[in-house]
Amino acid sequence: MNIGVLGGGQLARMMAQAGSSLGLSFMFLCPDSHACAAPYGEHLCAPYEDKRAQEHLVKWADVVTYEFENIPLSLVESLQRQIPLHPASSILSVVRDRLPEKLLFHTLGIPTVNFAPVDSLEKLINAMEDIGFPAVLKNRTQGYDGKGQALLRKEIDLSAAWEEVGKAPCIVESMVEFRRELSIIAARNQNGDMVFYPVSENHHRDGILRLSISREDDPMQVRAKAKIISIMDNLDYVGVMALELFQVGDQLLANEVAPRVHNSGHWTIEAAETSQFENHLRAICGLPLGETSSAQTSAMVNLIGRLPVEAEIRNIPGASLHFYDKSVKTGRKVGHVTLTSDCSPEEFDLRLAALLQLAGEAELAGRKFFNSTPLTQCP
Ligand code: AMP
């Protein structure tokens, strides 16, 4: 089968790498002349709006998907009228905008942080009476990796924050003191069959994911799974979805949904029987979904704004290195490393600390993630 992908970054690249074992071919529509997925298929280097490129893609592909949500909705709607496309444009229109996304959570009885929509400084000032400080102001659309967000500590911050987010429609939400950040990734096909990965425990710095730890048998797994089932069923979703969650005490609050493969699931390439990338392709191609079980402990560290010396990473037992062939730029994800092993928790912590040091994450490198008291089970 021929798969058309909107976008040509590292997620498209890893999708195509996974697709080769399924005998799939790829074409990427991506305006970036340095699209890092390009070596794995045909690259249509054109603006998303380019009609000839769209026609070419539709003629060639059997099914179209996308690697990120910040693509023009009108393009997805138009392609969907001509060719099978997953996840559907009606889903993208909900989850690419933080307001309908939060309203969906509420309709489904899934708790979130306290929030309010705002589209002027005056409305922001009024909303803060209910939301309270500290809070975070977020653009409703086009945000990723903490972009389009401003922290609100006190009254005096409001005007500058409103400027900072470009005076675009936003939501303002309470800043929560979470115990952990988690995500759950699942795949669903057209028959409504679903598979689930163990939750990932995620650690961010400056709004960017730095470390994901796969938590097999996590006390929050059952609750996280129930939430993603209700969202996917409600949307009649086809493909892989990630649901990002804040754990506050023993409660899980939904933060956002990614209608695509997700950075916190990169560890599945080495550690799960079927990776998130392969399961996404299976779902959109109407193939049976693959097993998600994993036998080993695993964690993933992002390489952001720097490339460590390859030999030093390769010295760490169980480390698998992925470079994305992207030029190094401050704050840019240029690769990741997955650590998998069935070694002792003490040894895993040591290896992970060495890896985090090489990735420039000194603060995280000083912590223990495996050799510590386990959390108790929650139904
Ligand atoms: P987001 O773009 O919504 O995923 O936010 C990026 C990161 O900022 C999250 O992964 C959290 O680490 C942090 N963050 C976002 N919203 C909140 C919030 N309401 N309370 C606390 N931390 C937040």
The atom of ligand 1 lying closest to the CA of 176 is 20
Is pLDDT of 280 > 80? yes
Region of poorest pLDDT, from 46-55, 113-122, 324-333, 366-375:
366-375
Residue closest via CA to ligand 1's atom 1 equals: 146
204: pLDDT strictly greater than 70 = yes
Residue 202's nearest CA partner among 288, 274, 265 is 265
Q: Which CATH number fits domain 114-174: 3.40.50.460, 3.30.1490.20, 3.40.720.10, 3.90.1150.10?
A: 3.30.1490.20
Q: Residue 371's pLDDT band (boundaries 50, 70, 90)?
A: confident
Query: Does 134 sit in the ligand 1 pocket, CB within 6 Å?
Result: no
Give the residue-averaged pLDDT of 136-160.
89
Percent of the chain beyond pLDDT 70? Answer: 98
Ligand 1 nearest-atom number relative to CA 143: 2
Dist. CA 66 → ligand 1 center (Å): 24
pLDDT at 379: 53
Calculate how far, in angstroms, residue 122's C-alpha sits from the geometric centre of ligand 1. 24
φ and ψ of 158, to 5 deg? -60, -45
pTM over 0.85: yes
The residue whose CA has the least distance to atom 7 of ligand 1 is: 207
pLDDT tier at 3, thresholds 50, 70, 90: very high
Please check the confidence at residue 378 and state whether its pLDDT lies above 90. no
Q: Is the CB of 146 under 6 A from ligand 1?
A: yes
Question: Residue 373: its pLDDT value, please?
Answer: 60
* Domain-wise residue ranges, the chain: 2-85, 114-174, 180-365
Q: Do the domains spanning 2-85 and 114-174 agree at the CATH topology level?
A: no
Q: How far is the CA of 9 from the centre of ligand 1 (A)?
A: 23
Which of ligand 1's atoms lies nearest the C-alpha of 135? 19
pLDDT at 143: 74
Q: Determine the pLDDT at residue 147.
A: 82
279 has pLDDT over 90: yes
pLDDT above 90: residue 374: no
Which whole number is the average pLDDT over 115-129? 97
Which amino acid is present at 178? F
Q: Is 276 helix (H, G, I), strand (E, B) or coil?
A: helix
For residue 372, name the pLDDT band (cuts at 50, 70, 90). confident
Six-digit token string for 43: 């690259």
CB of 318 within 6 A of ligand 1: the answer is no
Region 44-54 average pLDDT: 97
Whose CA is closest to atom 23 on ligand 1?
175
Ligand 1 centroid to residue 149 C-alpha, Å: 9
pLDDT over 60 at 226, yes or no: yes
Residue 177, judged by CB atoms within 10 A of its CB (0-12, 13-18, 19+), counts as: exposed
C-alpha 77/C-alpha 87 separation (Å) is 11
Summarize pLDDT for 33-42 with one digit per residue, the tens: 999 999 999 9
Mean pLDDT for 170-174 is 97
Instruction: Give me the architecture of the 180-365 domain, per CATH.
Output: 2-Layer Sandwich (3.30)
pLDDT band at 142 (very low <50, low <70, confident <90, very high): confident
Kindly give, in sequence order, each residue whose CB lies less than 8 Å from that of residue 118, ignoring residues fewer than 6 positions away: 124, 127, 137, 169, 170, 171, 172
81 φ/ψ sector (left φ>0, alpha ψ -120 to 50, else beta): alpha
Model pLDDT, residue 46: 98
Cβ 113 under 6 angstroms from ligand 1? yes
CATH architecture, domain defined by 2-85: 3-Layer(aba) Sandwich (3.40)
Which percentage of the chain shows pLDDT scores above 90? 93
Encoding tokens for residue 327?
A: 């030029």
